Amino acid sequence: GILSDIATLVSESDCNILDSRHAIYGQEFSLTMIIEGTHNAITRIELSIPEMCQRRDLLSILKRTREHTKQNLTHLYDVEFNGVDNPGQIQAITRFFADQQVSISAFRQTTSVDDETGHKMMRFKLVVNIPDDVAMPEFRYNLNLLCQVLHLTSNIIDKHKG
């Protein structure tokens, strides 16, 4: 598949994949990766990936970056919100996390219509990395206050505890 072809190109170019994320959105494949190598090796991969993508009818965007700093993902949490879908909820929730210096690494929202009430319902799930210096009891309390204002329920699950 596509990942195997890209991994082969990276290896043949004398580079290493430091980090990557991929997803399928509908019928579309998305891949983000951080590759390391010498200047010449990076140049080789910059030339070979677009060629391979063109053969597979894919769009490629390449960008040189500075040295990669590995993320500390020791405090990963799933955070789920449920309730009637109203404008501004996602904005308020993502602003809350940004204000707390909590990084969002995944984001998914689904909507449906409640058969009984006819209301448009929303389910919104995040994967977040909460820094060491965030006091969890206070964080949970403030998140619950926000959810009350937004008329949502929430659940926080530590991914390392299950």
- Kindly state whether residues 40 and 97 are assigned to the same domain: no
- Kindly state whether residues 22 and 84 are assigned to the same domain: no
Q: Is the Cα torsion angle 14, 19, 24, 27 positive or negative in sign?
A: negative
- Kindly state whether residues 100 and 140 are assigned to the same domain: yes
List the CATH number of the domain containing 150.
3.30.70.260
Q: What is the pLDDT of residues 29-84, one digit of tens each?
A: 888 888 889 999 999 999 999 999 899 888 888 888 877 666 655 688 999 999 99
Q: Is residue 8 part of a domain?
A: yes
- Kindly state whether residues 146 and 85 are assigned to the same domain: yes
Tokens, residue 159 = 């991914």
Q: Is residue 98 part of a domain?
A: yes
Q: Is residue 122 part of a domain?
A: yes
Place of tokens 């909820």: 89
- Kindly state whether residues 94 and 38 are assigned to the same domain: no
pLDDT at 74: 65
Cα separation, 9 vs 44, in Å, equals: 9
Q: The domain containing residue 108 runs over which residues?
A: 76-158
Cα separation, 29 vs 31, in Å, equals: 7
26: Cβ–Cβ under 8 A, 6 or more apart, which residues? Answer: none
Phi, psi of 118 (to 5 degrees): 80, 0
CA 127 from centre of chain: 7
Q: What is the dihedral of CA 10, 12, 16, 17, to 10 degrees?
A: 20
pLDDT at 70: 62
- Kindly state whether residues 154 and 88 are assigned to the same domain: yes
- Kindly state whether residues 33 and 104 are assigned to the same domain: no
Q: How many structural domains does the chain have?
A: 2
Cα separation, 78 vs 125, in Å, equals: 7
Cα separation, 137 vs 126, in Å, equals: 19
pLDDT at 162: 57
- Kindly state whether residues 29 and 102 are assigned to the same domain: no
